[in-house]
Amino acid sequence: MTAELTPAQLIEKHRPTLDQALDAIRSRAYWSPHPEHPKAYGEGGSLSAADGQAAFDALRGARFELDQPGSDGWTATELSPYGLELGIEYPHADVDALLPAMRTGMAAWREAGPEARAAVCLEILARISARTHEFAHAVMHTSGQAFMMAFQAGGPHAQDRGMEAVAYAYEEQTRTPRTADWSKPQGKRDPLELRKEFTAVPRGISLLVGCNTFPTWNGYPGLFASLATGNAVLVKPHPRAVLPLALTVRIAREVLAEAGFDANLVALAAEREGEGIAKVLAQRPEVRIIDYTGSTAFGDWLESHAPQAQVFTEKAGVNTVVIDSTDDYKGMLSNLAFSLSLYSGQMCTTPQNLLIPRDGITTDAGRKTYDEVVTDLAAAVDGLLGDDARANALLGAIVNPQVKERVEAAAGLGEVALASRTITNPDFPGATVRTPVIVKLDGAKPDAEAAYLTEHFGPVSFAVAVDSAADGVDLLRRTVRDRGAMTVGAYTTSPEVESLVEEACLEECAQLSLNLTGGVYVNQTAAFSDFHGSGGNPSANAALCDGAFVASRFRTVEVRKPV
């Protein structure tokens, strides 16, 4: 095979970016090579807004050709949460033919070494980045995210997380030198001398089990971490969110082939309706790594039923905010209102339980009772979403009927402080749009526990009355320990309460955001700086991204011989 792009050319092109990424993960200062603003695209080879829209439209109602081996028909399982007809058919894989084909190119991919693999991965990301406008529509019409969020979270932020994984993978593989000369003194005799060669070798085939809500953002870290460490990657998208990952696979295959590697190092396993192929794939002996985002039930199943594989999971959790006191009451309310509303609360990081002392809190606007805080927060959400156009742009669409059912059922769990409203999306009349519901619960009543100690994924929050801030911290601890949490927030002006919350998060292993009142939200993390999840509580067994996320995706083989 003649390479159109040599690995050396790709290294020359991408090494400066890789070095910046390596600096960023060490300093954890702000950095991103991927612009967030839609207007930044359209020049230098990237698709403009109009071109991205046209590219997306051209995909609809057609077969998505991938030219991968072992296809035995076509499958179409997507339904846009906006009601848009997608009608895209994907090749359905015969895994008995596909898996062996994926192994064919692994030796050459391993031989290429960590730097060439990183450069190929960065080229894939660069081409994805150039098509961010196209991806934005693909993410929007599979996840139900509003356009701007689909653009940013599904585009540059996802690409950042992918690049972060590449940087970690590169660093981890190069901690051991390629060769070493070893000379052990033997007193008066000649020293013992060996020449040692160290090679990072892959585990095997890595399986990515994608999710419906963040197909690229949650998918890229595992995909790129595994590819950069020499593994082949089989992408099994969520049946309702195939397109963003199918586009990704197609681009990856193009780049691999152009660089002289086997395109089958990355392949798609789109499934038929109700096929449940993830379970089958997860137990194949060729599959040695699994990345998964989704329900706790299936994540727990994977963790205990695929012993041949390294399993990285992100599951459900009960995210909690402790509200003790604030010197910016308005800022706190508007910050929380935004966090609860963004993408209709359908983020794994959206707060669910707001723990508020029943005797109220101290603020810069005076003492506020529990009822006042809840009422003011409800008003803040109402204000934020008062204009339908703005509400649609923030809420997006409800991703599936189960979320809608949970919103409707929430009203029956306690006193409703803020009722969920239905909003019409004039551009997409078929979209199901709901504003958040806030329900009051008493933390001291045992029968309320079943509600607030369960994840209600979607725009459902509980204002839980607690006896005191300290009592709230106890509940926070119990919640994180028993149910897990991707995020914890706290508002306090008291150093004592701050210490209590911090100690709880350190001991129960949860990521904490303190006193956010401006433009940073508890549910958002920035690649290269923030860890997404801790990997140390039941909501996830891994964090994005750290050494542990990449270190076990490869092994180091040593060959030693006398000099």
Site residues for its own copies per CB under 8 A: 25-30, 107, 110, 172, 175-177, 180-186, 192, 194, 196, 198-199, 201, 203, 300, 303-304, 307, 502-503, 505-507, 509-520, 526, 529-531, 534-536, 543, 546-548, 551-552, 555-562
- Closest distance between its own copies and the C-beta of residue 548, in Å? 4
Judged by beta carbon, residue 352 or residue 513, the one nearer its own copies is: 513
Cβ atoms of residues 227 and 121 within 8 Å: yes
In terms of CB distance, is 72 or 558 closer to its own copies?
Answer: 558
Q: Is 57 exposed, middle or buried (0-12, 13-18, 19+ CB in 10 A)?
A: exposed
Contacts with 539 (C-beta within 8 Å, 6 or more apart), sequence order? 314, 315, 316, 317, 348, 483, 484, 485, 486, 533
Q: Which two tokens stand for residue 449?
A: 């526990």
Q: Which two tokens stand for residue 353?
A: 């339980």
- The neighbour count for residue 255, using CB atoms within 10 Å, is 24
Nearer of residues 249 and 512 to its own copies, judged by Cβ: 512
SS3 344: helix
Amino acid letter for position 357: P
At 311, list the tokens: 């399993």
Smallest separation (angstroms) from its own copies to the CB of 552:
4
Report, in Å, the least distance between residue 455 CB and its own copies. Answer: 20
Q: Which residues, in sequence order, are bridge partners of residue 219?
A: none
Beta carbon nearer to its own copies, 369 or 529 = 529
Q: Minimal distance in Å, beta carbon 369 to its own copies? A: 26
Supply the minimum distance, in Å, between the C-beta of residue 290 and its own copies: 14
Q: How far is the CB of 130 from its own copies (least distance, A)?
A: 22
**Rounded to the nearest whole angstrom, what is the least distance from the CB of residue 557 to its own copies in the complex?**
5
Give whichever of 73 and 191 is closer to its own copies, judged by the CB atom.
191
* 429: helix, strand or coil: coil
Which DSSP string do the residues of 288-328 spell out, in sequence order? EEEEEES-HHHHHHHHHH-TTSEEEEE-----EEEE-EES-
Q: 314-349 burial, b for 16+ CB within 10 Å, e for fewer?
A: bbbbbbbbbbbbbebbebbbbbbbbbbbbbbbbbbb
CB of 307 to its own copies, least distance (A): 5
Residue 137 to residues 71, 80, 149, 156, 490, Cα–Cα distance (Å): 27, 10, 10, 14, 35
Compute the least distance from the CB of residue 7 to its own copies, in Å. 19
* Nearest residue (CB) to its own copies, 199 versus 425: 199
Closest Cα to residue 525, out of 242, 164, 229? 164
Q: Which is nearer to its own copies, 385 or 542 (CB)?
A: 542
CA dist., res. 267 & res. 264, Å (int): 6
Distance CA 311, CA 161 (A): 19
Q: Residue type for 156, please?
A: P
Q: Residue 111 phi/psi, 5° resolution? A: -65, -25
Tokens at 85, concatenated: 């007809």
Nearer CB in complex with its own copies: 49/201: 201
Q: How far is the CB of 283 from its own copies (least distance, A)?
A: 13
Q: Which residues pair with 491 in a beta bridge?
A: 323
| Contact present, 150 and 394 (Cβ < 8 Å) | no
Minimum distance between the CB of residue 148 and its own copies, rounded to whole angstroms? 15
By beta-carbon proximity to its own copies, the closer residue of 367 and 555 is 555
Burial degree of 475 (CB within 10 A; 0-12, 13-18, 19+): buried
* Nearer to its own copies among residue 269 and residue 485 (C-beta): 485
CB of 43 to its own copies, least distance (A): 18
Nearest distance from residue 224's CB to its own copies, in Å? 18
Pick 74 or 198: Cβ nearer its own copies: 198
- Residue 273 backbone phi and psi in degrees, to 5: -50, 125
Q: Which residues pair with 90 in a beta bridge?
A: 75
CB atoms within 10 A of CB 54: 13
**Which of residues 153 and 437 has its CB atom nearest to its own copies in the complex?**
153
Helix, strand, coil percentages (3-state) for the chain, rounded to 5, are 45, 20, 35
CB 366 within 8 A of CB 314: no
Report helix, strand or coil for 410: helix
- For its own copies, the closer CB: 27 or 402: 27
Question: What is the nearest approach in angstroms of its own copies to the Cβ of residue 106?
Answer: 8
40 or 444: whose CB is closer to its own copies?
A: 40
Q: Residue 544 has what DSSP assignment?
A: B
